[in-house]
Amino acid sequence: MSRKNKAEKPRKATRAPMGVGTIAFLLGLLACGAVIAGINYHGLTYDEPIYAGFGARSAKWIVTLLISLFDGDFAKQVSAPVINQAWFASIDMQPPLVQVLSGLSQLGPGKVLSGMLSQRLPVALFFGLAIGTLFWFTDYAFNRPAAYFSALGLFLMPRFFAHAHFATLDVPVAALILLTAATFYAASEERSWNLSLFSGLFMGLALLTKLNAGFLIGILLIWAAIFHPPMVLRGLVAFFIISPAVFLAGWPWLWHDTLPHLKQYLFFHLQHYPVLVYYLGELHEYAPWHYPFVMIGVTTPVIFLALMLLGLGYAASGRCAYERKKVRSSIVAVRWLLLMCAVGYLIPSAMPFSPKYNGVRLFLPALPFLMGLAGGGFALVHGALARALERVRALAEMPHFSERLAFLMGLGLLLPAAVGLLNVFPHEQAYYNALVGGPAGAQKRGFETIYWGGVYNAALPALDTHEKQSPQILVTPQGVTSLLIAYQRGGGLRKDLRWTTPPPPKEQATGWPQEALVGVDTVIFQCAQSEFDALSRKLYEQGRPEPTSVYLDGVPLLLIFSGDEARRLFPAAEKTE
């Protein structure tokens, strides 16, 4: 054989593998596209109309500010009164990043995008960012099959997937927290000041999204002190110089009266009013310490949960995959980072006076790290099974046997989760796993069935085709009418529907349901047990709902009753002049 042929043969037989960055990008693009495809099937949540109004004001201010650079009106636009009007939201004092991005999206792409996509598009992009970043992170921590499993598993996590459809803060902050941790780890590996500063930038953006991003600073500094001591100084610079600068620059409301405004923001969250949660058959202002751990346990697909526990033990043990012994200390460090971040975002929610409601929403940032650990569990099982099967000569001699085994394992383990996700779509917030008996078992065991109001979207056709002109519709509890009014303004409901609500809880004297039902044509409410009052509770337990009510596996998510049916249970309402 000639020298030329010898040189060409391997070139012909080999194929360059796709880079981790390319795969991460493609997976993120796939995830983003999947969310976009289902965005209009997911209804508005309680917070979205609030955020939309704030985002529209702030986005308009940004456009006006840019114009003012040329018309000489710049000083007015950066004055305290104008900034306060555009950037202060007293109802729900949250940082502005996601709201502003949604507002800008509606100003630009919103003119060509249909339905709720323009408002929610930025969150879909953040979901893609989370999937891609997790793939990169887990690829380094374990191996390529583990990375695929982790990224696709997070994609198929019902509760995480649900929140990717809402123009709210939880998926964006989870994505930015994950990106910050991954970048800080990359900086430690590369010994790079530039990457360290980028991690500070991403942390600043995370803080501009939600306050709980700040927990990550302590986690990363503790991790650095244990595994990469030189990174402590870089972390201090990144998180105490760069991040605050980004935070202040990105929130114009803090440009004037900085310290008083910052104090007002922190006190709003530290003194946040309690929100009731229905947990294990009881109502709580602050659920018990075990709430986050139990909720993770009953809302995660069982296969993922088992692999999370296996991966947690694998990461904590310091055991290293045989193919990466040469970088053992580095691999152990990144696995511990996944573990510390996962636990670090569960522990704060276990504190006695920490808010605990809306399922896993308030500790959603833990889920990507937990799925990273699940990837570790997958790698451990795959490695053990591959070594056992390679004792069979025919399998050992099969080309790419390990990769084929990983593909079949991944398919077998991910397919049940995909089926489970499809079964609950678009009501993923009501997902419960087989450990608790699904939605029906969760209802019997005292878990909250649904939350946050998105399910009202499924009732729009029934309301829009109401047989009466200008019907009076009672919605409970108070405040939910803002969602339905938002649908009316957006053209999703006819304009003649009239809304009425129960009196405030402190004014609900004996007999108030009878008075509230006078003249009512329809009663509607979502089946969030923490929101029940005397009227909705009795209707839920004893009433005969309309066929247009919404169910999942036989469990009511939203109930609709005729006014006559409601008055049947509260007959005094008929005694009117």
pLDDT of 113: 56
Q: Is residue 263 part of a domain?
A: yes
Kindly state the percentage of the chain with pLDDT values over 70. 93
447-460 as b/e, with b when 16 or more CB fall inside 10 Å? bbbbbbbbbbbbbe
- Provide the domain limits for residue 197: 20-367
284: three-class secondary structure by DSSP: strand
Q: Do residue 458 and residue 363 come from a single domain?
A: no
Tokens of 315: 């990461």
**Predicted pLDDT of residue 472:** 96
**Burial class of residue 544 (count of CB atoms within 10 Å of its CB; 0-12, 13-18, 19+):** exposed
Looking at the chain, the whole-number percentage of residues with pLDDT higher than 90 is: 76
Most confidently predicted of 102-116, 201-215, 269-283: 201-215
> Are 355 and 462 found together in one domain?
no
- The mean pLDDT value for 549-555 works out to 97
pLDDT digit string, tens, across residues 78-94: 999 999 999 987 777 89
Beta-ladder partners of 277: 284
Mean pLDDT on 10-37:
80
221 vs 239: CA distance, rounded Å: 9
7 part of a folded domain? no
Q: Which residue has the higher pLDDT, 565 or 330?
A: 565
Q: For position 2, what pLDDT does the model report?
A: 44
The pLDDT value given to residue 325: 47
pLDDT of residue 88: 87
Instruction: Examine the domain organization and report whether 233 and 131 are in the same domain.
Output: yes
CA angle (128, 125, 132) in 5-degree steps: 20
- In single-letter form, the type of residue at position 194 comes to N
What rounded mean pLDDT belongs to the chain? 90
493: its two tokens: 């409901």
Domain co-membership, 338 together with 485: no
Report if residue 78 sits inside a domain.
Answer: yes
Asked if 485 and 338 sit in the same domain, the reply is: no
**pLDDT at position 283, please?**
96
Last-in-domain residue among 367, 390, 405: 367
Establish if 300 belongs to a structural domain.
yes
Q: Domain boundary at 367, 387, 419, which?
A: 367
Amino acid at 154: L
95 in a domain, yes or no? yes
pLDDT band at residue 295 under the 50/70/90 scheme: very high
C-alpha pair distances (Å), 357 with each of 297, 433, 477: 15, 18, 17
Q: How far apart are CA 474 and CA 480, in angstroms?
A: 10
Q: State the amino acid at position 148 in one-letter form.
A: Y
pLDDT band at 549 (very low <50, low <70, confident <90, very high): very high
Same domain, 161 and 26: yes
Residues 362 and 485 in one domain: no
pLDDT at 294: 98
**What was the pLDDT predicted at 7?**
44
Q: Is the pLDDT confidence value at 145 over 60?
A: yes
Is pLDDT above 80 for 16?
A: no
Q: How confident is the model at residue 386 (pLDDT cuts 50, 70, 90)?
A: confident
Mean pLDDT of 406-430: 96
- The residues near 140 (Cβ < 8 Å, ≥ 6 apart) are 185, 331, 334
Are residues 112 and 255 located together in one domain of the fold?
A: yes
- The answer on pLDDT for 397 being more than 80 is no
Residue 43 lies in a domain: yes
Sign of the dihedral through C-alpha 388, 389, 393, 395: negative
- Of 326, 347, 367, the residue that ends a domain is 367
Total number of domains in the chain: 2
pLDDT at 126: 98
Whether pLDDT at 61 is above 90: yes
Q: Can you give the CATH number for the domain in which 566 is found?
A: 3.40.190
Is 420 a member of any domain?
A: no
pLDDT, tens digit (0-9, with 9 covering 90-100), for 1-15: 444 444 444 444 444
Residue 438 lies in a domain: no
Give the span between the Cα atoms of 260 and 246, in whole angstroms: 19
In sign, the C-alpha dihedral spanning 249, 253, 255, 259 is negative
Q: Are 181 and 73 contained in the same domain? A: yes
The position carrying tokens 């930015």 is: 176
